[in-house]
Amino acid sequence: MSEITLHLGQTLWFSGNPMIDGPDVAHHDSRGGIAVQGGHVVARGTADDLRRQYPQAAVEDHGQALILPGFIDAHVHYPQTAMIASWGKRLIDWLNTYTFPEEMKFGDAGYAAEIAGRYLDLALSYGTTTMCSYCTIHPESVDAYFTAAAARGMRVLGGKTCMDRNAPDGLQDTAQSAYDDSKALLERWHGQGRASYVITPRFSPTSTPEQLSALGALWAEHPGCLMQTHLSEQTDEIAWVRGLYPEARDYLDTYEAYGLLGANGLYGHAIHLEPRERDRLREVGAALVHCPTSNTFIGSGLFDMSGLVAEGQRVGLATDTGGGSSFSMLRTMAAAYEVAQLRGVALHPSALLWLATEGSARSLRIADRVGTLAPGSEADFITLDLGSTPAIAQRSAQAADIWEAVFPTIMMGDDRAVTGVWVLGERKG
């Protein structure tokens, strides 16, 4: 048996969804910890109990730091790393001006490898240990991503972005090549180590019905895979979809008609939904992925978090790098709080932390492995310093409870708050 290490500090874990069951399902130990062996969590409890249970174990005492599962980012575009924070456009102009020229570069395997490594190292520095990424149309971009993640031991999900219209020459595949390349990549990577392949049509405007249909067929052949796409991000995008698919009842119907609506579907943004779309998404148990920094940065709109959760939708949280303006899930939690405030709802810190860990893991169907630090799960975790800057420290020093102590870090924290990152129990930062 490999050695057991105890990681001691403050701990926080959930026995339910705090947005549904209330903040009482969060459990806080001011002196808690986890026991890690062979890359997995084998126990969680108070520091005293763990020391009694494992008297021979090595001990890493993180003091007052908060031990949390590594953050889970449910929707990113790693190829947009180098063009994050590009000024002044709305979605369609932004894609044409900034995104597509950058994505053209990823046919070069060397460039793809450089950006994949850069992106994953940035994500780790912000405490994100798992993400679900769009790659580009180039198979090289997918190989680069999974290879770089494997070198770091990370659990990642992603797939080749498929587009066969309304994109520049050189950034289009076809219905057949999208199917063939996606299938080959799926067979190469899905279930290899900690990699999961995700079937990835970018969105209805850049796919013909033939391409959506081909990818729907591929999903039917591999129903255990996730499928990710974008849905109802901006009103002018929705009008464009209506023109391209005149027979569709609504935006979601452009996916539903071609076999791209299901329980393992991930629908990014989902801001301007029709009642029928909400009903169908809930009926099939699909996951909606909220990308709040992107929604404010590109001017898309205000996601209805509380309404969607109350009606039983599954929701994850994501940066949407580089439409999103940050690699940080702390900043993303802050933006989710701000967006909800603009809709008249104050999300509790327990809800924000749940969304960035277990909630996103649930949306990706991997909460049995990461996102909770429950015994048996993979030991991907971080330590957060709840006083990482003078401004945060002077506020958290006044805290009456863990929520007042952690909320200043959610609102004002950045990579300086992330004092340690472990992947499968090995320190990465």
Residues forming the site for Zn ion (CB under 5 A): 268, 320
Name which of 67 and 260 has its Cβ closer to Zn ion.
260
Helices 175-189 and 139-152: crossing angle in degrees, nearest 10, is 20
CB nearer to Zn ion: pick between 157 and 411: 157
Nearest CB to Zn ion, comparing residues 45 and 79? 79
Residue 306 phi, psi (nearest 5): -70, -40
Q: Say whether 268 sits in a helix, a strand or coil.
A: strand
What would the DSSP string read from start to end of 150-175?
HHHT--EEEE-EE--SSS-TTS---H
CB-wise, 47 or 74, nearer to Zn ion? 74
How many other CB atoms are there within 10 angstroms of residue 2's CB atom? 10
Nearer to Zn ion, 237 or 320 (CB): 320
Nearer to Zn ion, 270 or 421 (CB): 270
Supply the DSSP string of 361-394, one letter for each residue: HHHTT-TTTSSS--TTSB--EEEE-TT-SHHHHH
Min dist. Cβ of residue 321 to Zn ion (A): 9
Q: Which value, to the nearest 10 degrees, does the dihedral of the CA atoms of residues 413, 123, 194, 10 take?
A: -20
Report the alpha-carbon distance of residue 210 to residue 268 in Å, rounded.
Answer: 22
Q: What are phi and psi of 394, to 5 degrees?
A: -70, -25
Closest-by-Cβ residue to Zn ion is 320
Cα separation, 76 vs 198, whole angstroms:
13
Least CB distance to Zn ion at residue 233 (A): 8
